[in-house]
């Protein structure tokens, strides 16, 4: 499974982000491309320990058991639910969101596993730094595929 802490995988993701256009249409979902970039950036904030959304009841009940479904080589299902605090519905600037996300991904990769948050994931609960690295890659890959890159 790819890991964002691997520079090769980080470079792949950044190159794919650079392939997005302001008018890239989604293959599924309701977010436009700028909202998707802001959503991914907000998820980076969680992994970096800059945001601490509360755990939801569903995550507390089944999150730990659902980890194997997420941390595997299978693609994420389309239109899956998201963490409510990082659901982006307002208008965003594409160029700004694109640069912010690329900066956060690069910083996260450079900081390495030791700088991952110890705060539990809002759904899955406690994650290792390796799980965060793999999860970040998989989440970004999912949304980049959503927009055809």
Q: Residue 2 pLDDT more than 80? A: yes
How far is 104 from 109, CA to CA, in rounded Å?
A: 9
Assess contact for 15 and 133: CB atoms under 8 A. Answer: no
List the domain boundaries for the chain: 7-20+28-146
Helix (H, G, I), strand (E, B) or coil at 77: coil
Structure confidence at residue 24 as a pLDDT band (50, 70, 90): very high
% the chain with pLDDT above 90: 81
How far is 30 from 33, CA to CA, in rounded Å?
A: 10
How far is 45 from 38, CA to CA, in rounded Å?
A: 11
Mean pLDDT value across residues 114-118:
93
Q: What's the token pair of residue 48?
A: 């970096």
pLDDT value of residue 26: 97
What is the per-residue pLDDT across 45-94, written as a single tens digit (0 to 9) for each? 999 999 999 998 988 999 988 888 788 889 888 988 888 889 999 999 99
Q: What is the pTM for the complete model shown?
A: 0.94
| CB neighbour class for 33 (10 Å; exposed up to 12, middle 13-18, buried from 19) | buried
Mean pLDDT value across residues 105-122:
95
| CB neighbour class for 121 (10 Å; exposed up to 12, middle 13-18, buried from 19) | buried
């Amino acid at each position: 499974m790819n890991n964002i802490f691997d520079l090769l995988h980080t470079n792949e993701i950044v190159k794919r982000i650079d392939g997005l256009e302001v008018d890239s249409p989604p293959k599924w979902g309701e977010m436009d491309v700028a909202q998707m970039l802001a959503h991914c950036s907000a998820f980076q904030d969680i992994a970096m320990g800059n945001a601490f959304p509360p755990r939801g009841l569903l995550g507390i009940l089944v999150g730990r058991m659902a980890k194997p479904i997420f941390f595997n080589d299978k693609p994420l299902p389309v239109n899956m639910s998201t963490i409510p605090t990082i659901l982006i519905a307002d208008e965003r600037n594409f160029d700004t969101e694109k640069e912010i996300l690329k900066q956060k991904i690069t910083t996260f990769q450079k900081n390495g596993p030791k700088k991952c948050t110890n705060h539990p994931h809002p759904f899955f609960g406690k994650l290792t730094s390796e799980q965060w690295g793999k999860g970040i890659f998989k989440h970004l890959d999912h949304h980049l595929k959503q927009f055809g890159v």
